Chain A
Amino acid sequence: MGKLFSRPGQDRPKQSRSVAMRSLFHNFRLILEHNTDALELMASLERALGGEYIFDRAYLEKSVRDLGLLVQRTVYRLNNLTGDRYVELFDRYQALRTLLDDILADGPDPANLPPVLSFTDIGWETEQAVGAGVACLAELKHRFGLPVQDGFALTAMGVSQLLAQPTCPPELKESLQREAAALRRRCGRACPLAVAVHQIGADDGVREPLALARHLDDLPLVIRIALERHLARAGAGFPEAAALSVSVREAPEPVLCGLVRTLDHTASRRDALSVSVSQPGTPGARAHAKDCAKDCAATGADLGQAAAVERHLVRRSYPFRALRSEILAKPSRFEHPDGGPPLSLLRNGLLRGTALLSSKTLGDLAEACMAVERVLNAPQELGWLLTPRGRLLLTSTRPLARSEQDPQELDELLAGAVPLAHGGNVAQAGVGAGRVVHVRPGDNPEDFPLGAVAVAHVAAPALSPVLRRASALVTEVGTTVGHLATIAREYRVPALFGLHDALTLLPAGSDVTVDATADAQGGAVYQGVLEPLLRLRAFGPELDPGDPEYAMLRRILRLIQPLNLIDPDAADFTPAGCRTFHDLIHFAHEKAVEELAEIHARQPGLSGADARRLRLNVPMDIRVLDIGEGLGEGVAEQAGREIAVEQLECLPLRAFLRGLCSRDAWRTDAASLSAGDVLGGLRKTFELLNDPTGAAGQNLAIVARGYMNLSLRLGYHFSVVDAHLGDNPNQNSIYFRFVGGLADEHRRERRAKLIRIILEGLGFQVVVNQDLVVGKFKVADRPDMEAVLARLGELTAFTRQLDTDLGTDQAVASQAGTFLGLPEQDAASGPMPGPGGKGGGT
């Protein structure tokens, strides 16, 4: 960079301009560096959730401190760059930093949560406000989509407010009734609501409901009564400083209820899941129901002996077949609660049978309970009920005691196991087993069988929906810091990425056990479903959701990781709109780029000598602004305003231009326009002509050796490609934005859809908002990055006037297929990743 500004013999004004430019670019480069370092640190924090790393609180404190420093410096540099135009960012930074420090100090919930929280707003990170039991139910319900009772909670702060006064404060009453009304809209108008009290920090599994509310007006009073009952029961033993929360959950009348133990050896030495079933209101069921409703003290040891209780032992892996069933004798005309007599014919051609629980519902129940075990990383005892409409609901969960593990048993088991594949990197630790299903481009994620093992070529974001259904995921290509790895950690699905030749070694339809344990280098896949391995390895040294460090990490990440500001043209793309550290650095990056892109308009004194015109063999005018080693040695000093592509040292721009200048990408035929297209385009033309920055029609590439920020106006499209490219795959990234177009609204939306399909096919994570498309591609090695950048270059040319051709949805599929080289039906269904040289990372 120094070379650009060290030309001898310049006059004084030029020298001062040079100093100003040097300062400008210095600030810009530091923003980029801080941005990269901050993203690395954020990825490392997020990776810690996966269970492969041992970390402690000191690590979390240090990470927040280091990250805070990087964000603060980024904000400082942006203000240096822009003449203090974004001072407000310091306030946002400080506010977030204070909240993070509060979390690290174990302070009260820093997010200043409202006193009443819907389950949709509750997660592990709000555990301090509502208790672990409630947080657990809410997570299972809304994050993992499991059939758990819906509800809402009165936080510890809310309980204090309620108990502080003889009557419920009006605002609190209103909040309670609003949430209750919303809950009833979700689960039925007449549904009774069960009120339970939880002691935060104690062994606060989900408690026996202390009261039922049928009318919304009564709810505050019912909650108060439940709290008073709880305190009266606890008596003098209730610690003064202890905080209470209250859960209010849907409580439909059950036709069947019972308990599930996900690992039960009481009836058999074989690993099995046990299910007890009773019919409320029948003899013997009352005692059983009491057991089911009892809080965590319920042992369930006598379930099989109760008069009206049926019991099943079920396999712990898909398809969860019953191993043994104890079914009660019933009268011949017995009507099952789920409909039909025992001899009724089912759709599968079998008879219904006499068991209270049908085999399908039994399988669904076992599957849901095993998902809970996987999420909570320990065998569980769960309460459940079945509603008259056949809806299955889990009502409580608590961990069962873990049995001591015998290392010898594991050694013996592994010695007899048949390995099918070894290697890969652990994205989420754990063990999963099931039938192998190959996931191919064009597959519909909804068709993926529940509990199967997904095997795919690329760990692309498009696989995310599959993770909600898979028991494990294996890919041939992909890294543990990509988007899909984050999703695997979110759902706690064991995931191995980068397992060479997995599609060949793991044939579709075979039963396998995926061993992605944290204490081994890489993973392994064994032939068959090794149930003891599931038990022995699944509850090892991985991080539990119950560990305080896990909850703390989740709470920290909530204020660090999410990127809420995506669209720079949105009204909330402001300093005040920054809700996380990620928002802050992204905002700073965008504004820094904008400052350089519009340098001529914003800092007229600095315009002129710096941007050089690039000589191209295609009809485009691109100017290049070098901020450090983006041009070959001596090029900056050469006379003349034009430079050749060969004189560029900027790796990402060279790769992009390879695609952009490819002859095949440029069309010569005329695009068809409708009257609507022309009218729609007139408005845009007018806007462009009135662009106050004067940048309309300018294509500017800000370049360094490993960095490019390219702003393009091509026809009526406006796109930005921001790319980091070097030898460290973890620091490589591409950000692509595309907006605008001369066509009516429908065609522009089709064009957005087309670009989404193409970008996802290349391995991008994509967000579409009307005709704005934002794609991100991260963590790939240099050849993959160069290949993807070249494809983006082709795409830029390809879509030059494409929206005027997109008259039908069929045209979208056809064009996507043409570009990606896919069969049409695959392109139409979109987002499954395609193998082979078209993007390797996520």
Chain B
Amino acid sequence: MTEDTRPASPAKTRILILDDEPIVCKRLKPAFQKAGYEVETFTDSASALARVEGTRFDIVITDLKMEGVDGMHFLTRVKELSPETGVVVITGFATLDTAKESFRKGAFDFVAKPFKLSDILDTVRRIEDKQRLDKGLRAG
């Protein structure tokens, strides 16, 4: 696990990335940081679960197939704790069934590995747009 030590800025979108393959976290973290996001990465789902129990994230990106708590369970728990959090499921074992189930459980998008960095950045921007819209509707 790695943590961003800089003080949290309320203006920044907070992203949690969970993938048991370190290479995915290693490469996604600087990409999102460079794009101006505040990022925390986890390679074990138990630690990530403990983190989301106590802290709210705007966006969660999670792998599906992991040791211990799997991605589907993690997705379910995140949505229970914070329904407005946008969740992106990333997986190397994409099937129609898992995609359907992910959407049923509230995932915003389902991305098969390998994927382009630019694609996942676009997905995250779309979540932000939707969250802004939802917020506006609630306020209005």
B35 and A519 contacting across the interface, CB-CB below 8 Å = yes
A405 and B27 contacting across the interface, CB-CB below 8 Å = no
* A54-B115, A58-B92 as given contacts; A411 in contact with B28, CB under 8 Å: no
Does A540 belong to the interface (CB within 8 Å)?
yes
Does B99 belong to the interface (CB within 8 Å)?
no
Instruction: Report A-chain residues with C-beta under 8 Å of the C-beta of B34.
Output: 405, 407, 410, 519, 536-537, 540-541
Contacting residue for A540 out of B31, B36, B113, CB 8 A: B31
A541 and B117 contacting across the interface, CB-CB below 8 Å = yes
Does B26 belong to the interface (CB within 8 Å)?
yes
A521 and B122 contacting across the interface, CB-CB below 8 Å = yes
A57 and B122 contacting across the interface, CB-CB below 8 Å = no
Contacting residue for B113 out of A56, A411, A521, A541, CB 8 A: A56
Bound complex: CA of A548 vs CA of B28, how far in Å?
Answer: 16
Stretch at the interface among B17-25, B52-60, B128-136: B17-25
A541 and B28 contacting across the interface, CB-CB below 8 Å = yes
Name, among B31, B93, B120, the residue most crowded by chain A CB atoms within 10 Å (CB to CB): B31
Instruction: Report B-chain residues with C-beta under 8 Å of the C-beta of A543.
Output: 27
Does B2 belong to the interface (CB within 8 Å)?
no
Chain A residue with Cβ nearest B90: A54
Instruction: Give, as a whole number of angstroms, the nearest-CB distance from B24 to chain A.
Output: 5
1/0 per position for A42-57, CB-CB distance to B under 8 A? 0010001000111111
B24 and A411 contacting across the interface, CB-CB below 8 Å = no
Bound complex: CA of A549 vs CA of B33, how far in Å?
Answer: 22
Instruction: Report A-chain residues with C-beta under 8 Å of the C-beta of B68.
Output: none
Instruction: Report A-chain residues with C-beta under 8 Å of the C-beta of B26.
Output: 547
Bound complex: CA of A52 vs CA of B117, how far in Å?
Answer: 6
* A411-B36, A520-B118 as given contacts; A55 in contact with B31, CB under 8 Å: no
Contacting residue for A518 out of B19, B31, B113, B122, CB 8 A: B31
Does B140 belong to the interface (CB within 8 Å)?
no
B24 and A54 contacting across the interface, CB-CB below 8 Å = yes
Bound complex: CA of A187 vs CA of B67, how far in Å?
Answer: 53
Does B83 belong to the interface (CB within 8 Å)?
no
Bound complex: CA of A520 vs CA of B35, how far in Å?
Answer: 10
Bound complex: CA of A55 vs CA of B24, how far in Å?
Answer: 7
Bound complex: CA of A537 vs CA of B24, how far in Å?
Answer: 18
B33 and A405 contacting across the interface, CB-CB below 8 Å = yes
Contacting residue for B116 out of A58, A62, A518, CB 8 A: A518
Name, among A44, A48, A62, A540, the residue most crowded by chain B CB atoms within 10 Å (CB to CB): A540
We find that the number of chain A residues with CB closer than 8 angstroms to chain B is: 29
Chain B residue with Cβ nearest A61: B92
Instruction: Report A-chain residues with C-beta under 8 Å of the C-beta of B113.
Output: 54-56, 58-59
Instruction: Report A-chain residues with C-beta under 8 Å of the C-beta of B33.
Output: 405, 407
A56 and B116 contacting across the interface, CB-CB below 8 Å = no
B116 and A53 contacting across the interface, CB-CB below 8 Å = yes
Q: How many CB-defined contacts (below 8 Å) exist between A and B?
A: 82
Instruction: Give, as a whole number of angstroms, the nearest-CB distance from A553 to chain B.
Output: 11
Instruction: Report A-chain residues with C-beta under 8 Å of the C-beta of B121.
Output: 519-520
Does B7 belong to the interface (CB within 8 Å)?
no
Instruction: Give, as a whole number of angstroms, the nearest-CB distance from B96 to chain A.
Output: 17
Does B114 belong to the interface (CB within 8 Å)?
yes
B93 and A54 contacting across the interface, CB-CB below 8 Å = no
Instruction: Give, as a whole number of angstroms, the nearest-CB distance from B91 to chain A.
Output: 9
Instruction: Report A-chain residues with C-beta under 8 Å of the C-beta of B114.
Output: 44, 48, 53-55, 59
Instruction: Report A-chain residues with C-beta under 8 Å of the C-beta of B120.
Output: 54
Chain B residue with Cβ nearest A410: B34
Interface size class of B (residues with CB under 8 A): 20 to 34
Instruction: Report A-chain residues with C-beta under 8 Å of the C-beta of B115.
Output: 53-54
Instruction: Report A-chain residues with C-beta under 8 Å of the C-beta of B28.
Output: 54, 541
Instruction: Report B-chain residues with C-beta under 8 Å of the C-beta of A536.
Output: 34
Does B65 belong to the interface (CB within 8 Å)?
yes
Instruction: Report B-chain residues with C-beta under 8 Å of the C-beta of A55.
Output: 23, 92, 113-114
Instruction: Give, as a whole number of angstroms, the nearest-CB distance from B123 to chain A.
Output: 12
Instruction: Report B-chain residues with C-beta under 8 Å of the C-beta of A411.
Output: 36
Which residues of chain B in 21-75 are interfacial with respect to chain A, using CB atoms and an 8 Å cutoff?
Answer: 21, 23-24, 26-31, 33-36, 65
A59 and B92 contacting across the interface, CB-CB below 8 Å = yes
Instruction: Report B-chain residues with C-beta under 8 Å of the C-beta of A518.
Output: 31, 116-118
Instruction: Report B-chain residues with C-beta under 8 Å of the C-beta of A549.
Output: 23
A54 and B117 contacting across the interface, CB-CB below 8 Å = yes
A540 and B23 contacting across the interface, CB-CB below 8 Å = no
* A58-B92, A407-B34 as given contacts; A541 in contact with B116, CB under 8 Å: no
Chain A residue with Cβ nearest B119: A521
Instruction: Give, as a whole number of angstroms, the nearest-CB distance from A6 to chain B.
Output: 35
Bound complex: CA of A44 vs CA of B114, how far in Å?
Answer: 9
Which residues of chain B in 98-120 are interfacial with respect to chain A, using CB atoms and an 8 Å cutoff?
Answer: 113-118, 120
Bound complex: CA of A58 vs CA of B91, how far in Å?
Answer: 9
Instruction: Report A-chain residues with C-beta under 8 Å of the C-beta of B35.
Output: 407, 519
Bound complex: CA of A542 vs CA of B33, how far in Å?
Answer: 14
A541 and B24 contacting across the interface, CB-CB below 8 Å = no
Bound complex: CA of A536 vs CA of B115, how far in Å?
Answer: 23
A56 and B118 contacting across the interface, CB-CB below 8 Å = no
Instruction: Report B-chain residues with C-beta under 8 Å of the C-beta of A56.
Output: 19, 21, 23-24, 92, 113
A548 and B23 contacting across the interface, CB-CB below 8 Å = yes
Bound complex: CA of A52 vs CA of B121, how far in Å?
Answer: 12
A62 and B31 contacting across the interface, CB-CB below 8 Å = no
Which residues of chain A in 13-70 are interfacial with respect to chain B, using CB atoms and an 8 Å cutoff?
Answer: 44, 48, 52-59, 62
Bound complex: CA of A58 vs CA of B90, how far in Å?
Answer: 12
Contacting residue for B21 out of A44, A53, A57, A542, CB 8 A: A57
B92 and A519 contacting across the interface, CB-CB below 8 Å = no
Instruction: Give, as a whole number of angstroms, the nearest-CB distance from B36 to chain A.
Output: 5
B116 and A52 contacting across the interface, CB-CB below 8 Å = yes
B30 and A541 contacting across the interface, CB-CB below 8 Å = yes
Bound complex: CA of A537 vs CA of B92, how far in Å?
Answer: 27
Instruction: Report A-chain residues with C-beta under 8 Å of the C-beta of B24.
Output: 54, 56
Instruction: Report A-chain residues with C-beta under 8 Å of the C-beta of B36.
Output: 407-408, 411
Name, among A55, A411, A536, A547, the residue most crowded by chain B CB atoms within 10 Å (CB to CB): A55
Bound complex: CA of A94 vs CA of B121, how far in Å?
Answer: 41
Instruction: Give, as a whole number of angstroms, the nearest-CB distance from A272 to chain B.
Output: 23
Contacting residue for A62 out of B29, B30, B92, B118, CB 8 A: B92
Chain B residue with Cβ nearest A56: B21
Instruction: Report A-chain residues with C-beta under 8 Å of the C-beta of B31.
Output: 518-519, 540-541
Bound complex: CA of A547 vs CA of B92, how far in Å?
Answer: 19
Instruction: Report B-chain residues with C-beta under 8 Å of the C-beta of A407.
Output: 33-36
B117 and A58 contacting across the interface, CB-CB below 8 Å = no
Instruction: Report B-chain residues with C-beta under 8 Å of the C-beta of A547.
Output: 23, 26
1/0 per position for A538-579, CB-CB distance to B under 8 A? 001111000111000000000000000000000000000000
Contacting residue for A519 out of B21, B93, B117, CB 8 A: B117
A405 and B30 contacting across the interface, CB-CB below 8 Å = yes
Bound complex: CA of A600 vs CA of B116, how far in Å?
Answer: 50
Which residues of chain A in 386-438 are interfacial with respect to chain B, using CB atoms and an 8 Å cutoff?
Answer: 405, 407-408, 410-411
The 10 closest A-B pairs by CB, nearest first: A55-B114, A56-B21, A58-B92, A541-B31, A53-B114, A541-B27, A519-B117, A519-B31, A518-B117, A407-B36
Which residues of A line the B interface, CB within 8 A? 44, 48, 52-59, 62, 405, 407-408, 410-411, 518-521, 536-537, 540-543, 547-549
Which residues of B line the A interface, CB within 8 A? 19, 21, 23-24, 26-31, 33-36, 65, 92-93, 113-118, 120-122
User: What are 9 A-to-B residue pairs whose CB atoms are below 8 Å?
Assistant: A48-B114, A53-B115, A54-B115, A56-B21, A56-B24, A56-B92, A62-B93, A405-B33, A520-B121
Known: A58-B21, A518-B116, A519-B118. 11 other contacts (CB 8 A): A53-B114, A53-B117, A54-B27, A54-B115, A55-B92, A57-B21, A58-B113, A59-B114, A62-B92, A537-B34, A541-B27
